[in-house]
Amino acid sequence: MGNQSQGAAMPSKVRTCIAFKDQAEEAARFYVSVIPDSVFEGVFRLQPDGPALLVSFTLAGTPYQALNMGRDTIHNEAFSISVMTKDQRETDALWDKLLAGGGAEIECSWLKDRYGIHWQIVPEALPRMFTDDDRAAAGRAFQAMLGMRKIDLAAVEAAFRGVAP
């Protein structure tokens, strides 16, 4: 990436680019600190001591870049980063970290972080329940999820089994 202040960017033919006004490096470093198995790869600056222009990072194996546009950007739910979690504990931890510092809960496993980026924090059991051959159980699980913000996996599983929470 030329003129990097840290590390060499890992080669990747395709990367999702997230635009920011001026918080690209801060956001990328935050995301790498929150998502396990992530790497801050490098930053391109027009001047050695200047602000970042383009930042490369990988979140759990998925490559991204962040670009400082120098003007306000609009982030909405048309773009979100979805993270599969192994259980309620991981769901809760990731949810809380991403909300810290000014995020907002939305609904159905969605939240908006302090930078305005939308996330879906999805326990891996959820899609399995939603695609189960027992369509009535799948429907109950889906309906239970619709009434939630952060997923309460025990409540969704109870609905799946047809048991009152």
Instruction: Give the residue numbers spanning the domain of 53.
Output: 16-68
Q: Same structural domain for residues 109 and 129?
A: yes
Q: What is the pLDDT of residues 71-91, one digit of tens each?
A: 999 999 999 999 999 999 999
Across 6-28, average pLDDT = 84
Residues 99 and 155 in one domain: yes
pLDDT at residue 25 greater than cutoff 80: yes
1-15, 16-30, 60-74: least confidently modelled range = 1-15
Residue 9 lies in a domain: no
In DSSP terms, which residues pair with 81 in a beta bridge? 119
Question: Count of domains in the chain?
Answer: 2
133 and 88 together in one domain: yes
Is the separation of the CB atoms in 36 and 60 below 8 Å?
A: yes
Alpha-helical segments (H) within the chain = 24-34, 88-99, 125-130, 135-146, 153-161
The CATH number of the domain where 156 resides is what?
Answer: 3.10.180.10
Residues 157 and 102 in one domain: yes
Q: Tell me the per-residue pLDDT of 91-132, one tens digit each, with 9 for 90 and over.
A: 999 999 999 999 999 999 999 999 999 999 999 999 999 999
Tokens of 58: 């990988």
pLDDT tops 70 at residue 1: no
**Amino acid letter, 38:** S
Checking if the pLDDT of 10 tops 60, the result is: no
pLDDT score recorded for residue 164: 73
Q: Are strands 110-112 and 118-123 parallel, antiparallel or unpaired?
A: antiparallel
Task: Give the per-residue pLDDT at 5.
Answer: 45
